[in-house]
Amino acid sequence: MVILSDWLAAQLDKASAEPVYRQLLQLMQQAILTGQLAPGTKLPSSRLLAGDLGIARNTVLHVYDQLSAEGYVLSSTGSGTYVADTRPDSAAVGARPDATTRAVPEPNPRGDMSMRGQRLIDEAGVSARQWGAFMPGVPDVAEFPSRTWSRLQSRLWKSVNPELLTYAPGGGYRPLRRALSDYLRVARSVRCSPDQIIITTGIHQSIDLAVRLLADIGDRAWVEEPCYWGARSVLQASGIKLAPIPVDNEGLNPRESDLRHPPRIALVTPSHQYPLGMVMSLARRRTLLEYARQHKVWIIEDDYDSEFRYGSRPLASLQGLDDSDRVIYVGSLGKLLFPGLRMGYMVVPERLVDVFRTGVSELYREGQLIQQAVLAEFIMDGYLTSHVRRMRTLYGERRQLLIDAVTQRFGDALPVMGDEAGLHFVLGLPDHCDDRVVTAASYEAGVIVRPLASYYLGKQQRKGLLTGYACVAQENIAPAFATLARVIEEHAFGPKSKPRTRERAA
């Protein structure tokens, strides 16, 4: 007993910000787990221990109660408190190696991971920074009408209906599904009723759900080459084998050999190919739909940012042309409003509505009904359309500023590709240039871009940088581009070469 209280007295730090109760509890738990206090040992009475440690008896009583509630000790009225026997059952778990023979944990966690986990982490595309010039795919969240949102939100919270605080079975908040179906019919020519809409946390989750419900491990999916690394990762992590299909100016362009092996799933971005930016032609759309009908292929249409089209009106969706119910349409509020909202939607064929409603509940326990209710009001009151309209003008101006800066500095030595829509364009680099190296050097210099290389599954066909303009305030475009241009010049044209103007390049 004396030894225990001496040891505890030496460890307790009464001047620490950590309460004495918590310190004492942790010390006693540690003493029991390490065997310093053997099973069956009788603990000193609370009065004695409190006196030895110079602390309140109530503190010790609370600690003993907690130890008893967690199974570390057994107390019986009258006879005292004893350390419980909590040693693992050696018949069940085998002998534990002693401290001297225990393997030193490997610093590299690969051995802990599954094969698909290793692949996911090895090929991860996610960036540690998500904001700043020229982060692609990010809207200007500083322009989001947060006051309006907060007003709608506080009105809802003031008289909150308990139904809004539960899980959200049934595919999500009905008024939101109605508002979205109206919006999608008008803005994207999607053919749908509110029932066909399933609210998710975004396109990642929509793809994950579709793949789990419609494909089996080992099934094949066509993906565009190049394609969005995030969608690729979601498919691969579900055990789907990827078949990269080339794209040209008209979008997905399968070869004879591809057509001979129909996949289970085809994941496409027809309105704005990601990342190169072309539009799938009507002929290719019809061919893909017919092929899907004949071979029972599920088409996942990722329509992630096509509201932002600059020269012309937004283009109609592929889903709107589908007469055979082979298209699962997925969209996101991340680019329209702000990515951290984590809200998206999918439109599924009528006969699959119940399947997807049950699937989303079963796998993810959906919720956020209150956020969904705010969003429903935001859309119904017209704020979504006016925000999108305002952002389209703003992003259009920023895009033009950046294109002008590129042209002024490099003439047509560096092509700008896929700039008709979206939040980024691809700045082409000469073939001898390693876009990953340029990306790393520009990151060092304080400017974020993404290398085209990381979007190819097979051999890289073109060199380039995904350059986002939407989230960069006008006044920051020129200075940030000057930094990027210096890095590009050094790597693309040699450290000593001078800026190439249109005249020099011509």
Ligand X SMILES: Cc1ncc(COP(=O)(O)O)c(C=O)c1O
Encoded one letter per residue, x for contact with ligand X by CB under 6 A and - for no contact, window 291-320 reads: -----------x-x----------------
State how far the Cα of 487 lies from the Cα of 489, in Å rounded to an integer. 6
506's tokens: 């011509």
Strands 344-347 and 197-200: antiparallel
Judged by DSSP in three states, 39 sits in: coil
Local structure of 11: helix, strand or coil: helix
> Is 270 or 359 the residue whose CB approaches ligand X more closely?
270
Among 251, 263, 334, 468, binds ligand X (CB under 6 A): 334
Of 317, 332, 371, 442, which one interacts with ligand X (CB under 6 A)?
A: 332
- Residue 333 C-beta: closest distance to ligand X, Å: 7
Q: Considering only 74-82, 175-183, 197-205, 439-447, which stretch makes contact with ligand X by CB under 6 A?
A: 197-205
d(CA 17, CA 8): 17
Dig out the tokens for 489 from the structure: 């010049």
Q: Does 228 bind ligand X (CB under 6 A)?
A: yes
d(CA 271, CA 421): 9
- Element spanning 23, H or E: helix 20-33
Among 25, 32, 180, 203, binds ligand X (CB under 6 A): 203
Told to check if 367 binds ligand X by CB under 6 A, we report no
Residue 366 touches ligand X, criterion: CB under 6 A: no
Task: Pick the stretch among 145-153, 198-206, 254-262, 426-434 that binds ligand X (CB under 6 A).
Answer: 198-206
Between 25 and 64, how does the x/- string for binding to ligand X read (CB under 6 A)? ----------------------------------------
Nearer to ligand X, 23 or 201 (CB): 201
Q: With binding defined as CB under 6 A, does residue 230 bind ligand X?
A: yes
**Number of other residues whose CB lies within 10 A of the CB of residue 125:** 12
CB of 161 to ligand X, least distance (A): 27
Cα–Cα distances (Å) from 295 to 258, 289, 342, in that order, read: 13, 10, 34
| Residue number, 302 or 435, with CB nearest to ligand X | 302
| Of 44 and 226, CB closest to ligand X | 226
Both tokens assigned to 409: 């500095």
Q: Is 339 in the site for ligand X (CB under 6 A)?
A: yes
User: Could you tell me where the beta strands, DSSP code E, fall in 169-289?
Assistant: 197-200, 220-225, 241-248, 251-252, 265-268
Write out the binding residues for ligand X, residues 240-269 only, by CB under 6 A: 269
Q: Does the protein bind ligand X through residue 274 (CB under 6 A)?
A: yes
Torsion angle of the four alpha carbons 259, 261, 267, 268, in this order, in degrees rounded to the nearest 10: -10
Q: Is 202 in the site for ligand X (CB under 6 A)?
A: yes
Nearest residue relative to ligand X (C-beta): 202
Q: What's the closest the beta carbon of residue 237 comes to ligand X, in angstroms?
A: 14
Is residue 393 within 8 A of residue 469, CB to CB? The reply is no
Measured between alpha carbons, how far is 494 from 302 in angstroms, rounded to an integer?
39
**Backbone angle region of 410, left / alpha / beta, with phi > 0 → left and psi within -120 to 50 → alpha:** alpha
Alpha helices in 381-498 (DSSP H): 383-410, 435-444, 474-492
Q: Is 368 in the site for ligand X (CB under 6 A)?
A: no
CA–CA gap between residue 116 and residue 93 (Å, rounded) = 28
Q: Nearest distance from residue 273's CB to ligand X, in Å?
A: 9
Residue 69: CB atoms within 10 A of its CB come to 9
From 170, 314, 344, 451, residue interacting with ligand X (rule: CB under 6 A) = 344
By CB under 6 A, residue 425 contacts ligand X:
no
Q: Does 208 help bind ligand X (rule: CB under 6 A)? A: no
Binding to ligand X by residue 395, rule CB under 6 A? no
Angle of helix 203-214 relative to helix 229-237, nearest 10 degrees, comes to 30
Task: Please give the residue ranges that form the binding site for ligand X (CB under 6 A).
Answer: 137, 202-204, 228, 230-231, 269, 274, 302, 304, 332, 334, 339, 344
